[in-house]
Amino acid sequence: MEQIIEEMTQEFMNHFFPFWEGMIDRRFGGYYGEMDHDLVLRKDADKGCILNSRILWTFSNAFLVLKDPVFLAYAKQAYDFLQRAFMDRPRGGVYWSVTYEGTPSDDQKHTYNLAFAIYGLSAYYDASRDESALFAARDLMNVIEEKCRDSAGYLEAFSASFKPFPNDRLSENGVMADRTMNTLLHVMEAYTELHRVAPSKQTEEKIKEILLLFKTKLFNPGKERLEVFFDRDYRSLIDLHSYGHDIEAAWLIDRAVDVCGLEGTEYDLSQITVALTEKIYITAYDGHSLPGECEEGRVLTDRVWWVQCEAVVGFMNGYERTGDKKYLEAAKSVWEYIRDHIVDRRRGSCWYAQLKEDGTPDPAKAIADEWTCPYHSARMYFEVLKRLGK
């Protein structure tokens, strides 16, 4: 594991973080919205709020973990642009995307997008102690609770004025979902981060509610997996096993329980998270990497960068929870796959977003865009450092 830390440190300090520093838009603010597979920087591309929020979280945590003040300056670059360009102050919430100049281009509101803004703002408050960031995070949480849910849980997509809107951004695989495991997972993640930096009764109660939804509505005990897409009554819409989301959910659920001090209570889902981790190890892990998902019994064999990053953390978490060293070996092996295949050694690039079945990079996938971001990768590095006491 010492070797892994050394290899990761070399990669992130000398290659990964410098790439994202190079994405700073010093003229219009924030970060450029896209670099395509051919390493063409599209300075006029729209800027997605999800990407901006994830950059905000990444550099805030880079400062917290690595203590270099330059990372706080990079975080502030994202924070200032979030406050100036993405906040819809008259109606509440954040826009999905803005133009490269910072005017709204897609003004729909999405619970998933709001969650990532909370996630980034909470981390920035922890790094900067800027009370305006904490105020904004709490305000967006109130927007979610007042406008983006019903009595049974969280809904997905809305117009700019919070009228129901088709959930085409997070409904995939040929279904249109009223609720998704993905959105619920990241609302929990965001609320956990907010509770970690500024504990409150409100965040604790909402996290408890979400944990019970995972326990009673999303977890399929017969298949030992989380269902993915649902109608309003939590009926699953498709036979889909999302390997990446399950291994990510396993450690994020454990994190939420730890942060709220809920071990040993009805909200402790450790039996579920251990089952999820073991199922992924048996079903998806091939000795070096993970495919993304299995739909209707057919495994989609492409290797996606973020799935590998979450597998490293998820397997490390599995080792810590069970003591089974096979998980530690799996985490090491998946990192080696990332190092040897996902990291893009071309000058001026970062990481490949996706590899095809034959192991070659998918040229349709950008190096950076509204979804291809630094947070899964950097979070893996931070988690490895923290879990190994570095």
Q: What is the mean pLDDT of residues 210-221?
A: 98
CATH number of the domain residue 330 falls in: 1.50.10.10
DSSP secondary structure code for residue 170 in this structure: T
pLDDT digits (tens, 9 = 90+) for 79-123: 999 999 999 999 999 999 999 999 999 999 999 999 999 999 999
What is the pLDDT, as a whole number, of residue 169? 87
Q: Are 86 and 116 in contact (CB under 8 A)?
A: no
Task: Give residue 361's pLDDT band: very low, low, confident or very high (50, 70, 90).
Answer: very high
pLDDT digits (tens, 9 = 90+) for 49-85: 999 999 999 999 999 999 999 999 999 999 999 999 9
The tally of domains found in the chain comes to 1
DSSP secondary structure code for residue 103 in this structure: S
Q: Are 179 and 153 in contact (CB under 8 A)?
A: yes
Q: Distance between CA atoms of 292 and 301, rounded to whole angstroms? A: 7
Q: Distance between CA atoms of 159 and 136, rounded to whole angstroms? A: 21
Residue 75: phi and psi, rounded to 5, are: -65, -40
**389, pLDDT greater than 90:** no
Residue of 106, 264, 256 whose CA lies nearest to 196: 256
**172, pLDDT greater than 90:** no
The percent of residues in the chain predicted with pLDDT above 90, rounded, is: 97
Report the DSSP beta bridge partners of residue 361: 355
Q: Are 225 and 238 in contact (CB under 8 A)?
A: no
Q: Which residues contact 345 (CB under 8 A, 6 or more apart)?
A: none
Q: What is the mean pLDDT of residues 297-302?
A: 96
**390, pLDDT greater than 80:** no
Containing structural domain, residue 356: 2-387
pLDDT digits (tens, 9 = 90+) for 34-49: 999 999 999 999 999 9
**205, pLDDT greater than 80:** yes
**348, pLDDT greater than 80:** yes
pLDDT digits (tens, 9 = 90+) for 241-265: 999 999 999 999 999 999 999 999 9
Task: Give residue 236's pLDDT band: very low, low, confident or very high (50, 70, 90).
Answer: very high
Residue of 231, 227, 218 whose CA lies nearest to 178: 231
What is the pLDDT, as a whole number, of residue 1? 83
Q: Distance between CA atoms of 12 and 101, rounded to whole angstroms? A: 29
3-state DSSP of 44-66: CCCEEHHHHHHHHHHHHHHHHHH
Q: Distance between CA atoms of 24 and 248, rounded to whole angstroms? A: 29
Greater confidence, 173 or 292?
Answer: 292
Report the alpha-carbon angle 264-270-273, nearest 5: 165
What is the pLDDT, as a whole number, of residue 302? 97
Task: Give residue 174's pLDDT band: very low, low, confident or very high (50, 70, 90).
Answer: confident
